[in-house]
Structure 1
Amino acid sequence: MNLEQIQKELDSINRQTNIINLQCKLYTAYHSFMYRFMNKDNFKVYTFRNHYGSYMALGMAIHNTYHLRQSILKQCIHLTKSKNPTIIKLAAIPITTVYFGVLFGLWHIPSFTGELAIRIYFGMQSAVFDFLVDKESTFQDIPLRSIIK
């Protein structure tokens, strides 16, 4: 083998090593993102939906149901076809419950999207950090003797 062939072989091995190191970095960044996205660590940032979002949904559902009380009473009058206030109030209980349940579910949507945004942010932050970290401190270079057979 002459000097040019040896240099070409070493360049080829160097390219292969760089590709393998890039694959290792991408793999680590992906797993870091998934680890943080799935909240497998004990970093308690993701309480937004679990606590505050549910409280907000409860408050907004009560507020909206309160503002819809006239509409609910009109629907009860239409459904029962009665002028008796007791019958109308009894009919309003299940209708109000359905309204409240649907509104409570709908008001959880902003908290779900808020939690998703927080998880994506921290997952991407973790993945970008792991991708940009210096490969010398994370991965050992693959010895050339293991590639050359």
Structure 2
Amino acid sequence: MITLHAIDKDNWEDCIRLKPTPEQEKWIAPNLYSIAEAQFMEGFETRAIYHDEEMIGFVMYGLHPHDDNYWIYRFMIDGKFQGLHYAKPAIRLVLEEIRSSPDTTDDVMLCYKPENERAKRLYSQIGFKESGIAPWGDVMAKYSFINRL
């Protein structure tokens, strides 16, 4: 069973020990950086992803003030838990959490590196549609709640 839990004083150290595979490290900021960054981004949330009682991943998301869309800024499954079909249910839980928030929007955005084929495949299977290239070169993708969930 996949669940999301707030990052707090009891689990943050476990969270910063989670790492993507070595070849993926160039594509995502370390969890410690993301937890610190979220402290200065009003409205952003950090969550630990659990399989049963074991922490397996991390996500950071929030309502971006520049475009009034929710953005999933970070999503990672620890390298030793990849390939076990945890990512899709975890993303779906994040989308449900966003959808149930009082200030929800019609769309959720995220970005990934163009060469990250695994991310492209995962997000496409969930229902994200590519929506352009960000000024910094990442692929932007959008998930629309209209006619979903």
Category of TM-score, reference length = shorter chain: under 0.3
Q: Which has the higher strand share?
A: 2
TM-score, length of structure 2 as denominator length:
0.20
Higher CA-based Rg: 1
Quick one: higher RCO (CA 8 Å, sep 6+), 1 or 2? Answer: 1
The alignment's TM-score, normalised by the length of structure 1, stands at: 0.20
